[in-house]
């Protein structure tokens, strides 16, 4: 009788041990599945889909810090292109200047007002002058805030009888602001100043 009881006790311990091992394995499996699901959800949150021409194109979200230099340079170039790209059309000039002034503070507005008061834009319209800018390089220092920048470029002033090439060097600072339709990069140029703007060459047509 004692032998049978020992056999039952041994069988019970075996079943209990086996059950514990199975439960531990199942718990581990569930933990692994939950972890993988969590990783997939987090990865999914970093996916963006852009609708272009009726098709969803996958993009990936990154932190602003990863792209801050690229965004800053593009903001600076967009501002300068809008400010210095001029045609002999009052409406076009106003559209470009309005776009530029959304990207900078009163330092840009002050330069615009000075040019307007001096008759610069009136001369462009009256003389059928076209002005274009080419950006050679933009240096941005993100080790200080606001971020200091310096732009090197060239202006082409195209008249009926000649084309003048001018050097252009400007500097300023970038501070972060809210993104908007008018300011998609979320930067604002401040303390903007022209360091150099001199004639390099002139070609007669």
Per-residue confidence in pLDDT tens, the chain, 205 aa: 545 556 666 766 777 777 888 888 888 888 888 888 877 766 655 555 555 555 555 555 555 666 899 999 999 999 999 999 999 999 999 999 999 999 999 999 999 999 999 999 999 999 999 999 999 999 999 999 999 999 999 999 999 999 999 999 999 999 999 999 999 999 999 999 999 999 999 998 7
Say whether both 75 and 126 belong to one domain.
Answer: yes
Say whether both 134 and 74 belong to one domain.
Answer: yes
| CATH number of the domain that residue 162 is part of | 3.10.450.230
Q: What is the pLDDT of residues 137-193, one digit of tens each?
A: 999 999 999 999 999 999 999 999 999 999 999 999 999 999 999 999 999 999 999
Residue-level pLDDT at 49: 57
Residue-level pLDDT at 20: 85
Indicate left, alpha or beta for 38 from its phi (over 0: left) and psi (-120 to 50: alpha): alpha
Measure Cα distances from 156 to 87, 119, 120, 135, 149 in Å: 12, 19, 15, 11, 22
Number of structural domains (the chain) is 2
Q: Which domain range does residue 29 map to?
A: 2-49
Token couple for 173: 């600072």
Say whether both 93 and 24 belong to one domain.
Answer: no
End-to-end CA distance of the chain: 121
Say whether both 97 and 178 belong to one domain.
Answer: yes
Instruction: Check: CB of residue 187 under 8 Å from CB of residue 72.
Output: yes
Say whether both 196 and 97 belong to one domain.
Answer: yes
Say whether both 14 and 86 belong to one domain.
Answer: no
User: Would 190 be classed as within a structural domain?
Assistant: yes
Say whether both 119 and 31 belong to one domain.
Answer: no
What is this structure's pTM? 0.70
Say whether both 45 and 71 belong to one domain.
Answer: no
Say whether both 22 and 95 belong to one domain.
Answer: no
């Amino acid at each position: 009788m004692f032998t049978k009881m020992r056999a039952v006790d041994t069988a019970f311990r075996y079943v209990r041990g086996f059950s514990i091992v199975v439960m531990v394995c199942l718990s581990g499996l569930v933990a692994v599945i939950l972890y993988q699901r969590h990783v997939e959800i987090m990865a999914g949150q970093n996916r963006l889909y852009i609708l272009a021409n009726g098709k969803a194109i996958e993009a990936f979200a990154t932190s602003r810090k990863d792209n801050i230099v690229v965004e800053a340079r593009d903001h600076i170039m967009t501002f300068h292109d809008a400010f210095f790209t001029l045609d002999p059309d009052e409406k076009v000039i106003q559209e470009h200047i309005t776009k530029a002034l959304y990207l900078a503070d009163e330092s840009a507005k002050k330069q615009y007002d000075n040019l307007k008061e001096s008759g610069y834009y009136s001369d462009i319209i009256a003389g059928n002058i076209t002005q274009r800018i080419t950006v050679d390089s933009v240096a941005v220092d993100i080790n200080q805030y606001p971020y200091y920048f310096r732009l090197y470029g060239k202006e082409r002033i195209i008249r009926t009888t000649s084309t003048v090439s001018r050097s252009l060097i400007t500097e300023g600072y970038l501070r972060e602001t809210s993104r908007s339709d008018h300011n998609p990069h979320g930067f604002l140029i401040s303390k903007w100043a022209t360091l150099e703007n001199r004639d390099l060459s002139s070609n007669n047509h």
